[in-house]
Chain A
């Protein structure tokens, strides 16, 4: 494993234990997880026991000791998303990917995380895929999103849904035929 970047990161801050959190964050960003070799190197250079670095790596939720998938899907379970049905979105994605929150699919394509508030409550329920927000989710739309990501193409549907009672009546002819 090439650890040059770890050395560069530490050089950028100066080798001092006070910057350990920032160093770990940059390593996480660089490698998408905290590789053991990188932690060993950081412990040596910051003059900290490896156990102490490990303690930080497992205390803060931003860190992962396992490689994350190509698509990291974060389903928001903040309070605003929760009252708008965030838990049902998570269940739908869990069903579609056949993994639980906190796991990565066996092909390494998807990681699923349940997160607490991404601070975009107006768009809720919201699913973040990597850094990109997908707004106004329903369980059905969330399943579709996963299918589209797996196929490599994502259509954006952004318009907020009209409240149920405010919906105009729709005549049956606009509904696709059954079967």
Chain B
């Protein structure tokens, strides 16, 4: 978009699919003689993942969903040549099925407040010119030329910004502590090692607006003082984030916004990308720093805080990438503006990933304090198939499950902790009545068992012991006394573990025991899984009045466990059935039940 185009097509959410979409568009544009008039850009995340690939047409704001290569000729003819919307490609309201052609009118967006993600998907993330054109690096210039480091820290403190990685520590205080620690060399690090399953906020930000993170880091490094090297630690599973960040860093160096004598102020800073290698524990600050030093990512005992002795033993400010990306906004628009969003103790906006059993899976940004109900029903469009909401899981494996009865809970740091969960980096997994909460607790502990580094025994052994009990319960072998043992173990692991991973590992167990104890009891006393998930406690059967005898399930069953004559009711042999559920998936008449 560096040239002046009549229109630009911004495409998001390809996820490596449809590699032919952009070339097809470019060819069609050339064929219709529109070269130079219409630009095609692969932009960052627009958040509406469930409808991808999506296309935003600027100017005007026409918004197309689920764009396939086959749609290209019609799209070019109708929209680019005749100037009409292709209604077929418009967003459809999940409930009313009405078409919404313009981006701004889609309820998914109209209820959001997009500050950090504002430019994501609106600009070409590989072009520094576009970032500058939407006001990028103005905050850097303002901070470096008109503010003292102390003024910057004061402003960040006044804004009330708290760490977006989960713990919610005040960013301004963290910077001040780092600045006050004696050291000729200090470091700044951005944590982009998003390891929570079901979370992709950081990925979208790093891929879609890398300059915002870099700008925030340069400002922070200047404010903290004596920082000449900074690092962005990125999950290796995010190759596009790594490459977009590296491109952005190179461009910033070329423009004199990074490197020596930034903007002629005499301030020097370089930033490097460090790739992680698939270890969840490396999201923990001390393990992350070990990994940046080229060592195995095991946490260190925290006799000193990282602000005193962090990377290579020097004072270090470690913030989540989203925290860094908030900094330019605070500098540009002021602490008061920032603090005008959110609640008393949780200021600003927060990005969340809405996933699981939800209509509009996607990345959203909302003011702190919004209720879960608004998030799930107004923005998320509710539960698919009109099913019933059971719980929302926040905070990843360190968080907990919030029951549907707490739907009016405001989403902020403190309310979530009170409800037995935590903010975490922003994963929000919606679960309906087909999710078994005992199985969810088991699932997270299985994850944590694999990811525990094994250095300290409370975490290593405690998680394993809790997992054993949970597995037993899901297999119908549990005893009521197990629940007490679980609670005791949870307390021990919480108190005695070395790092945040272990300290928070019992949360999935504690929160499900607190809010869904009856489900544990059903597994133990009645030997039933109410959600129909735990294999040892369920049985697949054919619902006689619904079965028309089409024979599809019989042909698909990998075990040959289903028998029946054509056009007659079929039968599942429980002795042969391995409960894979394929019959239930393929049945066109909903004639396979679980009990």
- A→B interface (CB under 8 Å): 16-22, 24-25, 55-56, 59-63, 77-80, 82-85, 88, 91-92, 95, 116-124, 131-133, 135, 138-140, 143, 158, 160, 163-167, 170, 172, 175-179
Other CB < 8 Å A-B pairs besides A22-B274, A166-B385, 15 of them? A21-B274, A60-B297, A80-B197, A95-B580, A117-B197, A119-B194, A121-B353, A122-B52, A138-B585, A139-B585, A140-B582, A164-B385, A170-B588, A175-B548, A179-B551
A56 to B549, CA, bound (A): 56
The 3 closest A-B pairs by CB, nearest first: A122-B49, A178-B551, A163-B385
Output the nearest chain B residue to A158 by Cβ-Cβ distance: B17
Residues of B within 8 A of A56 (CB): 295-296
Q: How far is the CB of B506 from chain A (nearest CB, A)?
A: 17
Residues of B within 8 A of A176 (CB): 550, 552
Residues of B within 8 A of A78 (CB): 197-198
Residues of B within 8 A of A117 (CB): 195-200
**Given A80-B197, A122-B50: A85 in contact with B277 (beta carbons within 8 A):** no
Main secondary structure, interface of B, reads loop
The answer, among A21, A92, A175, for a CB contact under 8 Å with B277, is A21
Stretch touching chain A among B80-88, B177-185, B355-363: B355-363
Contact assessment for B50 and A160 in the assembled complex, using a CB-CB cutoff below 8 Å: yes
Residues of A within 8 A of B274 (CB): 21-22
Output the nearest chain B residue to A60 by Cβ-Cβ distance: B277
Output the nearest chain A residue to B386 by Cβ-Cβ distance: A165
A166 to B386, CA, bound (A): 9
Q: How far is the CB of A93 from chain B (nearest CB, A)?
A: 11
Residues of A within 8 A of B384 (CB): 163, 166
Contact assessment for A133 and B585 in the assembled complex, using a CB-CB cutoff below 8 Å: no
Q: How far is the CB of A151 from chain B (nearest CB, A)?
A: 19
Residues of B within 8 A of A133 (CB): 15-17
Interface set, chain B 568-595, CB cutoff 8 A to A: 580-582, 585-586, 588-590
Q: How far is the CB of A4 from chain B (nearest CB, A)?
A: 23
Number of interface residues of B (CB under 8 A): 72
The residue in A59, A84, A119, A167 that gathers the most chain B C-beta atoms within 10 A of its C-beta is A119
B519 interface hit (Cβ, 8 Å)? no
A175 to B591, CA, bound (A): 15
A159 to B493, CA, bound (A): 44
The residue in B298, B548, B558 that gathers the most chain A C-beta atoms within 10 A of its C-beta is B558
Residues of A within 8 A of B200 (CB): 117, 119-121
A167 to B204, CA, bound (A): 33
**Given A122-B355, A160-B50: A83 in contact with B550 (beta carbons within 8 A):** no
A120 to B427, CA, bound (A): 12
Contact assessment for B551 and A82 in the assembled complex, using a CB-CB cutoff below 8 Å: no
B31 interface hit (Cβ, 8 Å)? no
The answer, among B356, B554, B582, B589, for a CB contact under 8 Å with A139, is B582
Contact assessment for B236 and A121 in the assembled complex, using a CB-CB cutoff below 8 Å: no
Contact assessment for B279 and A79 in the assembled complex, using a CB-CB cutoff below 8 Å: no
A118 to B355, CA, bound (A): 13
Residues of B within 8 A of A119 (CB): 194, 199-200, 203, 237-238
Contact mask for chain B residues 359-374; partner A; CB cutoff 8 A; 1 contact, 0 none: 0011000000000000
**Given A21-B294, A22-B274, A133-B17: A164 in contact with B361 (beta carbons within 8 A):** no
The residue in B278, B362, B386, B427 that gathers the most chain A C-beta atoms within 10 A of its C-beta is B278
Q: How far is the CB of A134 from chain B (nearest CB, A)?
A: 9
Residues of B within 8 A of A59 (CB): 279, 296-298, 453
A5 to B17, CA, bound (A): 31
Residues of B within 8 A of A85 (CB): 581
The answer, among A80, A116, A132, for a CB contact under 8 Å with B447, is A116
Residues of B within 8 A of A20 (CB): 294
The residue in A80, A82, A131, A140 that gathers the most chain B C-beta atoms within 10 A of its C-beta is A80
The residue in A22, A83, A84 that gathers the most chain B C-beta atoms within 10 A of its C-beta is A83
B275 interface hit (Cβ, 8 Å)? yes
A63 to B429, CA, bound (A): 29
B109 interface hit (Cβ, 8 Å)? no
A156 to B523, CA, bound (A): 40
Q: How far is the CB of B558 from chain A (nearest CB, A)?
A: 6
A172 to B356, CA, bound (A): 32
Contact mask for chain B residues 325-368; partner A; CB cutoff 8 A; 1 contact, 0 none: 00000000000000000000000000001011100011000000
Residues of A within 8 A of B49 (CB): 120-123
The answer, among A19, A88, A143, for a CB contact under 8 Å with B581, is A88
Contact assessment for A80 and B198 in the assembled complex, using a CB-CB cutoff below 8 Å: yes
Residues of B within 8 A of A19 (CB): 294
B316 interface hit (Cβ, 8 Å)? no
A120 to B355, CA, bound (A): 9
Output the nearest chain B residue to A19 by Cβ-Cβ distance: B294
A140 to B491, CA, bound (A): 42
B435 interface hit (Cβ, 8 Å)? yes
A82 to B177, CA, bound (A): 41
B303 interface hit (Cβ, 8 Å)? no
A59 to B440, CA, bound (A): 26
Residues of B within 8 A of A79 (CB): 197-198, 355-356, 393, 396, 427, 429, 443-444
Q: Can you report 20 residue pairs joining A to B where beta carbons are below 8 Å apart? A: A59-B296, A63-B277, A77-B197, A80-B198, A82-B443, A83-B356, A83-B431, A84-B357, A116-B197, A117-B199, A119-B203, A120-B15, A133-B16, A133-B17, A138-B586, A160-B50, A167-B588, A170-B589, A172-B548, A179-B566
The answer, among A17, A21, A121, A143, for a CB contact under 8 Å with B361, is A121
Residues of A within 8 A of B552 (CB): 175-176
Output the nearest chain A residue to B312 by Cβ-Cβ distance: A18
